[in-house]
Structure 1
Amino acid sequence: MVYTLILFVSRKTGISLQTFKHHWESNHVPLLKSLVGRDFPLSHTRHYIDRDLDNPESPARVLFGQPRDFTFDAVAVFTFIDKSHWERFYNKAREPEVAKILLEDDEKFQDREKLRGVFVGDTKATGKDGGEAGWRFVGNF
């Protein structure tokens, strides 16, 4: 069974949604990949909360709940082969020099005090024709 971590990430005060997204995509993900190498997750998917990009204070476009319930700007889903894969990734990311580099980069675009994360258990997916779609990954293992 895959091992999945979901992070709820908020942008740093004073930066635009565009800057937040651009830094994460263009700087942070490539940096993380270069630092952890083969222990990078099978997939690292970023889902950005739908907001008016021209208005930095715009509320989330909400279907259920209230805009105030969505204080984060993105949801990141990290999928690992198993818990052992997660542990290798985490241990590599926590090596002192690697952790220092990642923290310095985090502070450029995200609010670390608002960061939240949770591990999820069994994952199921259903295709549009009703069958199980399975779980497909971007990388090899």
Structure 2
Amino acid sequence: MADGFELSDFTPYLLNRAAEAESQRFSRVYRERYGMLRTEWRVLFHLGRYGEMSAREISDRASIHKTKVSRAVAALEGKRFLERRASEADRRVELLSLRPPGRAAFAELSEAAAEHERALEMRIGAARLAELRRLLRDLAG
């Protein structure tokens, strides 16, 4: 055992705990309003923010395993939030885009996310939140 090592002070452990706590706080919003899981929210976000994309593009951009993206896409399609169409450039690729109910959910959840950020700023202060974001971007590389 490493002398003086404390898991509770280990940076990756602290980052994971903080990320999970904030994610859980916000997940209540999309879960209660739309019955969504975290991966569904992330897929919805990417389509709402970046427009038409393939599942592979979402998987790569969001660092989500392709099987999880596939399940989220099926769930969002079941909710009538998105639609699929074959790519004209490559018929093996399906392009995903939000339907009107998905765009409405994205707009509502984007406002809820902004409110979540404002609440976080109230908890820790604007300067500390700005510094936290800067540090997290540095760590992410």
TM bucket (normalised to shorter chain) is 0.3 to 0.5
Higher-strand-fraction structure: 1
Point out the structure with max Rg over C-alpha. 2
TM-score normalised by structure 2 residue count: 0.32
